[in-house]
Structure 1
Amino acid sequence: MSPQPSLPSWLTWWQRPFPDANTLLLHGRQPTLIDTGFVAHAEETAAWARAHAGDIALVLNTHWHSDHVGGNALLQAQGAAIAAGAPEAEAISRRDPGCCAAEYLDQPVAPYMVDLALDDGQVLRLGDADWEVIRTPGHTPGHLALWQPEERLLVVGDALSDYDVGWVNLALDGLDSATTALASLKRMAALAPRVILPSHGPIPTEPATAFAAALRRAQRLVDDPDGAAWYGARRIFAFALMIRDGIPAGEVEPYLHARAWLADAARLLDLTPEALATELVTTMLTSGAVVLRDGRLHAAADHTSVAAEALHVPYPRAWPATEPR
């Protein structure tokens, strides 16, 4: 086994299980947090950051899914500015009901504002080092990577991990979103980073090998749109089970029937939502991705528990209007 890549002393990496994304802290005169985990664990995220770096000056999100922006509201209330990719920043500023795909995915996100919209090629001083913003759409249209050329560090968000690639939403983002994700991966791979810092799972020990595997997986999503739709449905359903401590077996299919993402996946697959829901549950039980325990369906993957009251967050359509900072 190859040794773990070395990290500079001005960076602290926190690998976290679902439903949180990994968190990266950049130390220095402008302490910066890259992604803030799930809303249920916002206090834990803020306390960890404060213990390691004091007051956080900036939060930068690789993208706006719930497992990446859950601590934004709390950290912003404590004085941090928020930075995000331009398309997502603009939608949040106008309080678009589709913000963070929160209602669509049925994943809670506490309301926040974006102070700094980022676009391709910008160079930012984060901590005490300069990082380049690289637009890497695919998993979401506003997805970003961050490149630190001196240390050859690449923050990749959900574009890839040591074991997977990010799912793509063919219904919301278009049938070419898988091709877009593949192009983003190729662009990142061309940088030949020394270290890949993913949002889920461990730091890959061999970046070139990780990229080669990710490119093969992403090409399969391009070549097999039905497979891409199934892949997204499995990922979204597993996350729903994680944040709810499972769902009672008798309530699972009615829950799925009410979901917009399931209706969209069914349309792409030329199935009824009811048929897709049944097949999704059956296949995931058969594969071991979900398990039946004490009358509830649970996600089998490692994850941290979520207090039920943490899910009582309004959808973006009910977020308060933004105010000048």
Structure 2
Amino acid sequence: MSPHAHPHPLPRWATWQQKPFPDANLLLLHGRQPALIDSGFVAHADTTAAWARAHAGHIDLVVNTHWHCDHVGGNALLQAGGAGIAAGAPEAEALTRRDPGCCAAEYLDQPVAPYTVDMSLDDGQTLRLGEADWQVIPTPGHTPGHLALWQPDERMLVVGDALSDYDVGWVNLALDGPDAATTALASLKRLAGLAPRVLLPSHGPIPADTEAAFTTALRRAQRLVDDPAGAVWYGARRIFAFALMIRDGMPTGEVEPYLHARAWLTDAARLLDRTPETLAAELIDTMLRNGAIVLREGRLYAAAPHTPVRPESLRVPYPRAWPAATPPR
């Protein structure tokens, strides 16, 4: 996307690319040390790397807002080409230890190619990315290690999945505890207090009205705090839709057995006081009725726009089988 194709022009040293699911948007920061914020989904790593090379020649550093598969999928390929990888401290430490739960890849059944973290990022740290200094702001909630990046001169704020023009990040009350929604709300309030000129989310367009985007996001985040059951449902819908996107749908006869085998669904069922079988059936029925998924020729598909995925790209090992890593600096 051209820097002038949206209501808030970006400086000449920043190139933005809005991408449909299953990828996250990309922000390329030009200069003597070109940097990329997030790296998309593993199936499109070649495309991401080619786009970055075409615009910057090479990438010195990839900064991940968090470790979900749609944000770290190009890490391995870019790292093999010489880029360093930076991530929030909690996730950097877990990745270095090679915790089996890294990236929630196995838990969510979302593929991530093995990578290592070269730089651990903490609150208040300043990073030179491209031609500008950016401040690291931890924004836990969507994941414990989620972070935002703030460029005070241009008043640009990279928010990851904390919010978008139409949504807020789902929270995992099972993995991250009952206060995860409250934590996410506090992170949003911290970001809103910066009053940015430009808000750069990981999904969807750049909001035309940043103040209105925060107002709406804070209301949605408060709803997740006030309605824990609703927060669990919200996460389940998002995870299931993503599973359908990356698999080009699923035959109807395979959907319920697939869901019954998922740890995230078992946890959601426990929190909602249902059996996994009951929740799976309710989830499918609810999403069909509200149009979030559609039935075509015996397959269920996610209704939201998304880019096709090659099946072979999903065949990467879970983090428990990744090779050992060296500690980040």
TM-score, reference length from structure 2: 0.97
Three-state SS of the structure 2 residue aligned to 1:25 is strand
Deviations 1:119-171 (A, max 9, x none): 10001100010000000000000000000000000000000000000000000
Structure 2 gap ranges (5+): 1-5
User: Which position in structure 2 is the counterpart of 1:97?
Assistant: 100
Deviations 1:181-227 (A, max 9, x none): 00000000000000000000000000000000000000000000000
- Percent same amino acid at aligned positions? 80
Q: CA deviation at 1:323?
A: 4.4
User: Which position in structure 2 is the counterpart of 1:184?
Assistant: 187
Q: How does 1:40-189 map to 2 (within 5 A)?
A: 40-189=43-192
Q: CA deviation at 1:6?
A: 1.2
Q: Which amino acid aligns with 1:219?
A: Q
Distance 1:183 1:254 in 2: 37
Counterpart of 2:199 (choices 179, 196, 201) is 196
Deviations 1:93-143 (A, max 9, x none): 010000000000000000000000001000110001000000000000000
Q: CA deviation at 1:321?
A: 1.1
Three-state SS of the structure 2 residue aligned to 1:317 is helix
Q: CA deviation at 1:4?
A: 1.1
Q: How does 1:223-242 map to 2 (within 5 A)?
A: 223-242=226-245
TM-score, reference length from structure 1: 0.99
Distance 1:174 1:12 in 2: 37
User: Where does structure 1 differ by over 4 angstroms across 4 or more consecutive aligned residues?
Assistant: none
Structure 1 gap ranges (5+): none
Equivalences, count: 323
Distance 1:28 1:262 in 2: 45
Counterpart of 2:250 (choices 226, 238, 247) is 247
Deviations 1:281-306 (A, max 9, x none): 00000001000012110000000000
Instruction: Specify whether residues 324 and 139 from structure 1 end up closer, same or farther in structure 2 by C-alpha distance, changes over 3 A only.
Output: closer
Distance 1:271 1:323 in 2: 42
Distance 1:268 1:25 in 2: 40
Q: CA deviation at 1:322?
A: 1.6
Three-state SS of the structure 2 residue aligned to 1:221 is helix
Three-state SS of the structure 2 residue aligned to 1:237 is helix
Q: CA deviation at 1:324?
A: 7.1
Counterpart of 1:275 (choices 273, 278, 295) is 278
Counterpart of 1:29 (choices 12, 26, 32) is 32
User: Which position in structure 1 is the counterpart of 2:266?
Assistant: 263
RMSD: 0.8
Deviations 1:40-67 (A, max 9, x none): 0000000000000011000000000000
